[in-house]
Each structure stands twice: as structure tokens, then as C-alpha cells.
């Protein structure tokens, strides 16, 4: 076993690797950028080396700096985690050339599976079923459009070097093909440096089911059963589970046999995932699944496999890379119970899952799983950490395991309802709604489920009167310690004939709320809410509501929903109203990728004006109303959240940009 390894990653996966390394007595070296100087993975590691500025191209993608850090600190091997350089064969070669061990597959294996088109041709030769489509080298638009017509619409354009839904477009009609191809190519070029694509038949009711495989350097390869990753938004996974609901023994055998065959075809060593698309339109059948791609690394969702098989896949990685054989044979790997993983992101589900930033002023996960279940929280952040625009905005992975799917699903819902995050917009309410969705609960899932139900899944009911009253009471007691269990204690006071009423102002969304809070002789609070709520009631808060106070705000938690109220300064509200005079502003930090109109152009409501790229995804900014362009951002401009993108002649737009 290694004495010391370097982890060429950050955040949750770096922390995950450190925990297993510590268990095995292996010392760890972290690397970090400017933005991560005080991050959790740096604190957890035995040593840490600064490798550059916050942008990934100047830090986490600098293989030369990472290898230099490993050599300087005496590390024997490099664990790449997932993302960044984890599937870069050139980096794997460079690690080996430096006399270090790459904790992952060989560069040859990564290259064999790194390009979707070449990988599918290889799988066809190995006897693994692949999706009908065009996987050739020629990329002329006329040829690709012709192949799409031959395959039959709808088709799916996919970046051949892609992953995570980037560079992927569904096309319903030939007239849409050219625009979809251009968009997919731009996104693929930005994300992977390769704009080449393949074109495949779009499966009508697709399930995304993948198989965890593991190989060693002695010719052994096993599978650790399947994971269902069909719950996706914008082609990115949201909730994963194992085993797949409705899985038949016939399909499981066919699929796992094909996965092991694929791994052996490239002499695979280490952790890998064979991803399949399954046609579920007539149920799960052994002859209706096809190879999509192989991820030659540890997957984000690997904990669900660990939960149902009782394994530590990171430990397996370290043992295999250090020259040991696989810890178990196929017959020794059993499937027990059911597990779910929910990815908690800083994002606004109601606005098309736009990534969010902010400081996590309050972060609290459940202390324990419901009775009969077990739970893991995989995270790389703590309360007080910032979600920056430089990296993926995942906050944590909430993983539960129970005896069966129903029990595990109930445990997931309960855990989400007790998760509290304030300081950034998060997706916990959306995840809880998805877990409770009747189709999802019944196991009737496919990759379009979230899209079909998106309106219902992302709608958040307005706060109840009691929630608003709790926020008003907390705001009125602003003099109390934010750390106190009773943040309203400062309200108690002497009044000879009547209780003392305190007036407070809150803002929720666009609503300004004025409230009068009084303390009754029996210790309860009477809250009078003025327009638009007009509610006068008594609220007993002896059992303190779940809330978090943070600078200028109060977040009250109802189940998985966090309602955030701004505590208004009445003297500043007139200035805010004056400042809202309108311009069309960026809804998030990003890069102006493409401008579709110019100064002086007349536009109509809903017309695309420009494309903003954020987190390597493209977002179309549309006109909020008819008008004439007075000013518009220039292509290539890097903008921050709230930057003015467009001004109109005459009437000014007062709304924030909406991305589609």
C-alpha cells in the first residue's frame, strides 16, 4: 500500500478520498487554488500545495503543477477524483513518465473509451450492443443532416468527447437540425475542446442504467451491479439509485455480462462505469439496451453502489493501483437492500436550474437517518464557505440505504425535509418534490420524467402565515444573539396596561411585508401582518420554528423548503425603488458567448438576444418585451451576477434576464 498520495481534485471527492486514505494509514496531499485556500479538503489533508489562481485552467487543469507538487511532497501516486484531469490520457501518461502511479486505468484504456464514436465502434467489435446511429469521423453538416434523416427523427446530437449533457441536443424536425448542431458544437468546444459530434436515434422512453465495473492488473474484472440514473434535468443526474426499479434477472445478467465484456475488451484496471440506455416503452427487456459510453473513473454516484454491496470503492482503487488483486471475486459480491443518492446543488430549480452562488451562512444536515435506515452525507463544504462561480455548485450528496425501495425512499424524503441551508438558492425543495412524485415513487422513471413534471416539481407554495409570522418575530428580536436558541428573548419587556408592539419590515420576493409584533402576557406572540397578507393571529413559538438568521436575512424552514426574507431598512427602501429603473441584467456570472442582435435593432417579446455561458452550459437570454436595442453586451465579455446586458430605447426593462 502507498505511504502517501496526492489528490488532484477539490471539494467533496477530495474529502471522500482523504477519509478512506486515512482509514488505510495513507498520508494525503491536497492541492488548491486561490478560491480554495481555506476549503475543507485543504484542512483535512496532511499537507497542501497551492497550484494557482481560481480559474480551473490555471490550477486544477495544470497537470504540470500537480505532478510537481506530488514530486516535491514525496507522494507516490496521484488520485484524480472525477472531473478535471480524471479522464485525460495525456495526464495519465505524464504521471507515469514522472515515475508516479496514476490511481486509475491506463492511458490506453482512457483513450479507447474517451471518444464516444470510437468507443462505440470498439464495443460493436466486442459484441456489446450499441445505439443505432452515425459514429463516423466525417463531420460535414450535409452528411450529418443526411444521416439524421436516415436514422429517423427525433435524433440526438451528442459531443463525441462529451459528458454531463454538455454538447447534447435533441432534434425533433429536420428544420431544427442546423441550429441544434451549431449550438451543440459551441458547447462541446467550450467544455471539451472538441466540437465533433455523433448522431443517434432518440429512444422514446429512455432509462439510463449503468453498471459499476472494476478490474485489476491481473486480468480480473467484476461488476458491482447496476445504478439507475434516469432522474435527470438537462441531461445531468439528480437522484441515483441502486438497484434499478423494475430490473429483471434476465436484463441484469445481460447488462452486467456486457459491462464486464466491455471492461475486458480494453484490459481495464480500476473503477469504471459502463453506461447503457434502455428502451422502457414496453418494460425492461434483455434485448432493449444499448451501450452509450464508459466513464473511466469513479462516478459521482458511487456511494449508492457502496451502500448496496458493502464495499469501499476508493479503497479498492488504492489497493488495485498499489499492485494488489481485486479484494473480492464476482461470487463474493452480494446486492443487499436499496440506496438513493440526492445531489444537493446551489441552483434555482424554478429558473431552469440556473446555477447559484453565495455564502453558506447556515448549513445543517440531519443528525441521523430514520429508524431502520442508514445515511451518509458526502460534502466538501462547511457553514461559512462560499459557493463560487468557478466550480461545480454541488453542496453535498445525501445518501440513504434501507431494506427495500419504499423504505429507502421514505428515508430520503425525511432526510431532505430536515436539511437546512441558507445563504444561497438551493434545490432541496425540488429534490423532495421529486422523491414524492407519484411516478418516481412507483419506479416509473425515464430520462424525460423531470421535464414532463418540471412545473409541478419546481413550484414552491407561498409561505404560510405562521412562517411569515416567525420571520417577523425573528426580525423584531434582532437584538438577540444569532446563536441563541430563543432569538426572540429580547422582545420580553414591561408594559403596564398593554403589550409593547414592535413594527418590522420584511421583503419576500417582490412583496414588502409590514408587521406589528406584540408579546402577550402568556408568553405567546401576536403578529399583525399588513398588505398583501392581511393576517392578524397569535402564534405560539415556545417550540421554536426552524430558522436561520444571517446578515440582512432570515430563512424559515418548512420541510425541505427554505423561505428567505430580507430584513428591510425602511430608510433604504426608497433608494432601492429608485435603483430598480430598468435594464436587462445577467441572472448569473458567465461569458457572453454569442450576440444575436445589435444596437438599433427592433425586437419582440421572447426573441433570443444573446447566449450566456455559465458552468460550461449555454443559456439563451430573451427579450422581456417588444422594444428597440439601445445597448447590448459584446461577445466575449465576462459578466457577473447583475451586470447590465441590454438596455432598450424608451421604456426600460425592469426585470432580471430569464434564461431558457
What's the rounded Cα separation, in Å, for the pair 126 and 266? 10
Q: Which residues contact 291 (CB under 8 A, 6 or more apart)?
A: 119, 120, 123, 128, 129, 130, 131, 258, 262, 274, 275, 276
- Phi, psi of 555, deg, nearest 5: -115, 125
H or E segment to which residue 261 belongs = helix 249-265
Instruction: Quote the strand ranges of 301-423, DSSP E.
Output: 338-345, 347-348, 354-355, 358-359, 362-364, 374-379, 386-387, 394-402, 420-422
Q: Which residues contact 494 (CB under 8 A, 6 or more apart)?
A: none
What's the rounded Cα separation, in Å, for the pair 144 and 121? 17
What's the rounded Cα separation, in Å, for the pair 38 and 274? 36
Instruction: Quote the strand ranges of 234-349, DSSP E.
Output: 236-242, 270-279, 289-295, 338-345, 347-348
In the Cβ-directed half-sphere of 184, how many Cα atoms lie within 13 Å?
28
Largest Cα–Cα separation, the chain: 90
What DSSP string runs through 393-412? -EEEEEEEEESSHHHHHHHH
Cell reading at 640: 457577473
List of long-range contacts for 643-646, beta carbons under 8 Å, 24+ apart: 643/585, 643/586, 644/583, 644/584, 644/585, 645/583, 645/584, 645/585, 645/586, 645/592, 645/609, 645/610, 645/612, 645/621, 646/583, 646/584, 646/609, 646/610, 646/621
Instruction: Identify the three-state secondary structure at position 431.
Output: helix
Instruction: Identify the three-state secondary structure at position 537.
Output: strand
What's the rounded Cα separation, in Å, for the pair 592 and 614? 9
Contact 433, 416 (CB under 8 A): no
Q: Which residues contact 367 (CB under 8 A, 6 or more apart)?
A: none
Instruction: Identify the three-state secondary structure at position 13.
Output: helix
Catalytic residue chosen out of the listed positions 252, 297, 405, 418: 297
Contact 463, 563 (CB under 8 A): yes
Instruction: Identify the three-state secondary structure at position 473.
Output: helix
How big is the CA angle at 157 (ends 204 and 87), to the nearest 5 degrees? 110
Nearest Cα neighbor of 384 from 559, 548, 588 is 548
Contact 645, 591 (CB under 8 A): no
**Catalytic site residue 297?**
yes
Cell reading at 234: 438537462
**The dihedral of CA 537, 543, 546, 547: what is its sign?**
positive
Place of cell 457572453: 592
Neighbours of 282 (CB within 10 A): 9
Instruction: Quote the strand ranges of 346-487, DSSP E.
Output: 347-348, 354-355, 358-359, 362-364, 374-379, 386-387, 394-402, 420-422
Instruction: Identify the three-state secondary structure at position 212.
Output: strand
What's the rounded Cα separation, in Å, for the pair 214 and 299? 12
Query: Any idea which residues carry the catalytic annotation?
Result: 297
Amino acid at each position: 500500500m502507498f505511504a502517501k498520495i496526492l489528490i488532484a481534485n477539490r471539494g467533496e471527492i477530495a474529502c471522500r478520498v482523504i477519509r478512506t486514505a486515512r482509514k488505510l494509514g495513507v498520508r494525503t496531499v491536497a492541492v488548491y487554488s486561490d478560491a480554495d485556500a481555506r476549503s475543507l479538503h485543504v484542512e483535512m489533508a496532511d499537507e497542501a500545495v497551492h497550484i494557482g489562481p481560481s480559474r480551473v485552467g490555471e490550477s486544477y487543469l495544470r497537470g504540470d503543477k500537480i505532478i510537481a507538487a506530488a514530486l516535491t511532497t514525496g507522494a507516490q501516486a496521484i488520485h484524480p477524483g472525477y472531473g478535471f484531469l480524471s479522464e485525460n490520457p495525456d495526464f495519465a501518461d505524464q504521471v507515469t513518465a514522472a515515475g508516479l502511479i496514476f490511481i486509475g486505468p491506463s492511458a490506453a484504456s482512457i483513450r479507447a473509451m474517451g471518444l464516444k464514436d470510437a468507443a462505440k465502434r470498439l464495443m460493436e467489435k466486442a459484441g456489446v450492443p450499441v445505439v443505432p446511429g452515425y459514429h463516423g469521423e466525417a463531420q460535414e453538416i450535409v452528411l450529418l443532416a443526411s444521416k439524421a434523416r436516415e436514422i429517423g427523427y427525433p435524433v440526438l446530437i451528442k459531443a463525441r468527447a462529451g459528458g454531463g449533457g454538455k454538447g447534447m441536443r435533441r432534434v425533433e424536425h429536420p428544420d431544427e437540425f442546423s441550429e441544434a448542431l451549431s449550438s451543440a458544437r459551441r458547447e462541446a468546444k467550450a467544455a471539451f475542446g472538441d466540437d465533433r459530434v455523433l448522431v443517434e436515434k432518440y429512444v422514446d422512453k429512455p432509462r439510463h442504467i449503468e453498471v459499476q465495473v472494476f478490474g485489476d492488473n491481473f486480468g480480473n474484472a467484476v461488476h458491482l451491479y447496476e445504478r439507475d440514473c434516469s432522474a435527470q434535468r438537462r441531461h445531468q443526474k439528480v437522484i441515483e439509485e441502486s438497484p434499478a426499479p423494475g430490473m429483471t434477472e434476465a436484463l441484469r445478467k445481460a447488462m452486467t455480462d456486457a459491462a464486464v465484456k466491455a471492461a475486458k475488451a480494453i484490459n481495464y484496471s480500476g473503477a469504471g462505469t459502463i453506461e447503457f440506455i434502455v428502451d422502457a416503452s414496453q418494460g425492461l427487456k434483455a434485448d432493449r439496451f444499448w451501450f452509450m459510453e464508459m466513464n473511466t473513473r469513479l462516478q459521482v454516484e458511487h456511494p449508492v453502489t457502496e451502500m448496496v454491496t458493502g464495499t469501499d470503492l476508493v479503497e479498492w482503487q488504492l489497493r488495485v493501483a498499489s499492485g494488489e488483486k481485486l479484494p473480492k471475486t464476482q461470487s463474493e459480491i452480494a446486492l443487499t437492500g436499496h440506496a438513493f443518492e440526492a445531489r444537493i446543488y446551489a441552483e434555482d430549480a424554478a429558473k431552469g436550474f440556473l446555477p447559484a452562488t453565495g455564502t453558506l451562512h447556515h448549513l445543517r444536515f440531519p443528525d441521523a437517518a430514520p429508524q431502520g435506515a442508514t445515511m451518509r452525507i458526502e460534502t466538501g463544504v462547511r457553514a461559512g464557505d462560499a459557493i463560487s462561480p468557478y466550480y461545480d455548485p454541488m453542496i453535498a450528496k445525501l445518501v440513504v440505504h434501507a431494506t427495500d425501495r419504499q423504505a429507502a425512499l421514505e428515508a430520503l424524503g425525511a432526510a431532505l425535509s430536515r436539511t437546512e441551508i441558507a445563504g444561497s438558492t438551493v434545490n432541496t425543495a425540488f429534490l423532495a418534490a421529486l422523491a414524492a412524485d407519484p411516478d418516481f415513487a412507483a419506479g416509473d422513471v425515464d430520462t424525460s420524467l423531470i421535464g414532463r413534471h418540471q412545473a409541478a416539481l419546481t413550484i414552491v407554495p407561498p409561505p404560510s402565515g405562521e412562517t411569515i409570522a416567525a420571520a417577523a418575530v425573528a426580525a423584531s428580536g434582532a437584538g438577540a444573539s444569532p446563536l441563541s436558541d430563543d432569538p426572540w428573548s429580547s422582545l420580553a419587556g414591561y408594559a403596564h396596561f398593554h403589550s409593547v408592539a414592535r413594527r418590522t419590515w420584511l421583503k419576500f420576493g417582490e412583496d414588502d411585508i409590514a408587521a406589528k409584533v406584540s408579546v402577550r402576557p402568556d408568553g405567546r406572540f401576536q403578529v399583525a401582518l399588513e398588505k398583501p397578507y392581511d393576517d392578524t393571529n397569535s402564534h405560539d413559538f415556545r417550540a421554536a420554528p426552524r430558522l436561520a438568521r444571517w446578515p440582512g436575512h432570515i430563512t424559515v424552514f418548512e420541510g425541505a423548503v427554505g423561505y428567505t426574507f430580507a430584513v428591510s431598512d425602511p430608510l433604504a427602501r426608497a433608494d432601492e425603488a429608485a435603483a430598480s429603473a430598468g435594464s436587462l441584467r445577467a441572472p448569473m456570472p458567465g461569458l457572453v458567448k454569442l450576440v444575436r442582435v445589435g444596437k438599433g435593432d427592433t425586437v419582440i417579446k421572447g426573441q433570443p438576444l444573446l447566449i450566456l455561458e455559465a458552468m460550461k452550459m449555454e443559456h439563451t437570454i430573451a427579450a422581456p418585451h417588444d422594444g428597440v436595442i439601445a445597448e447590448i453586451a459584446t461577445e466575449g465579455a465576462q459578466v457577473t451576477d447583475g451586470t447590465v446586458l441590454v438596455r432598450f430605447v424608451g421604456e426600460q426593462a425592469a426585470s432580471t434576464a430569464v434564461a431558457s
